[in-house]
Amino acid sequence: MEEQLLQQIVNGLLIGFMYSLIAIGLTLIWGVMNIVNFAHGDMLMIGMFTSFWLFTLYGVDPLFSIPVCFVLLFVMGTLIYRFIVSKVMKGPMLAQVVVTFGVSIFLSNLAVYFWTPDFRLLPPTMLDGTWEIGDIILSIPKVVASIGSVIVSLCIFFYLKKTKTGKAILATEMDRESALLMGINTDRINSLSFGIGSALVGAAGGFLSTYYYIYPQVGGLFGTISFCVVALGGFGSIEGAFIAGILVGLTQTLGGYFFDPSYKYAIVFGIYLITIWIRPQGLLGW
């Protein structure tokens, strides 16, 4: 009983770090532009398929595909900002809300059209197997993916806090007008943040593809969860997203353990609704 509980906690942490990385990308875009990228989950899906096809067609180990996913999604994010999102930034609220929703539906169904709605799974990477510590079983791909996610999250954290461009992004997030007055090219910052946010979710897709099912609608679930993570952590807060990702991962596995596994996502969404009711600004928001 106790071992099982411990096992669930470990599982929660492992998936939680994944959620953190996905949510950091989303919260960055959200914080800088006040736009919710509803296509975020579908970008994750594109990352996963990139890794899938690189392996299937060229035999590239998914671990080496992760940088490719990162770069590819950076380019894609920048293009989506340039040609779609930037066009509605001055439009009515409704247009801002639904435009990325359109992108989301478009991407996921494009994937259905080309690659069928089937579920796919990559064969084990070069790092495979399990570790057993006491009674707890750790799947190595999950551990690798989680550690990788934490490393990427830390890198982006230091990039934002230490480099000049990173500080410009954070400044724009705090106050767009003042940032503009300080000589920051906020349009470039928008485009850059959209690119980085997408690149992060691309990397997450690369990690996730090493052990999770790959299918066109995978983004729906992860996208919705990442909205909850971002809301829980506080809109635009990187640290908040990181902590909330872990909390949501734990909620999901422990909720499944104490109640019924089929309700685990409903519990996550329920927690989200309660959070925005009691504390709309999230845990670390202001």
| CA pair distance 25, 77, nearest whole angstrom | 11
As measured in angstroms, the least distance from the Cβ of 91 to other proteins is 5
As measured in angstroms, the least distance from the Cβ of 34 to other proteins is 8
Q: Which stretch binds other proteins (CB under 8 A): 71-79, 142-150, 154-162, 222-230?
A: 222-230
- The footprint of other proteins on this chain (CB under 8 A) covers a number of residues equal to 48
- Enclosing H/E stretch for 153: helix 140-162
| CA pair distance 168, 220, nearest whole angstrom | 32
Instruction: Tell which residue, 162, 225, 258, has the closest CA to residue 16.
Output: 225
User: By CB under 8 A, is residue 107 in contact with other proteins?
Assistant: yes
Q: Which stretch binds other proteins (CB under 8 A): 109-117, 123-131, 144-152, 249-257?
A: 109-117
Minimum CB distance to other proteins smaller for 147 or for 266: 266
Minimum CB distance to other proteins smaller for 75 or for 110: 110
**Burial per residue of 186-223, b for 16 or more beta-carbon CB atoms within 10 angstroms, e otherwise:** beebbbbbbbbbbbbbbbbbbbbbbbbebbbebbeebb
Report which DSSP code applies to 123.
P
User: By CB under 8 A, is residue 265 in contact with other proteins?
Assistant: yes
Supply φ then ψ for residue 101, to 5 degrees. -65, -40
| CA pair distance 206, 127, nearest whole angstrom | 14
Assign 219 to helix, strand or coil: helix
String marking each residue 120-159 x if it binds other proteins according to CB under 8 A: ----------------------------------------
Minimum CB distance to other proteins smaller for 213 or for 259: 259
Of 192, 231, 241, 247, which one interacts with other proteins (CB under 8 A)?
Answer: 231
Residue 39 tokens read as 């296509």
Note the residues at the interface with other proteins (CB under 8 A). 30, 34-36, 84, 87-88, 91-99, 101-110, 112-113, 117, 216, 220, 224, 227-228, 231, 260, 262-263, 265-266, 269-270, 272-274, 276-277, 280
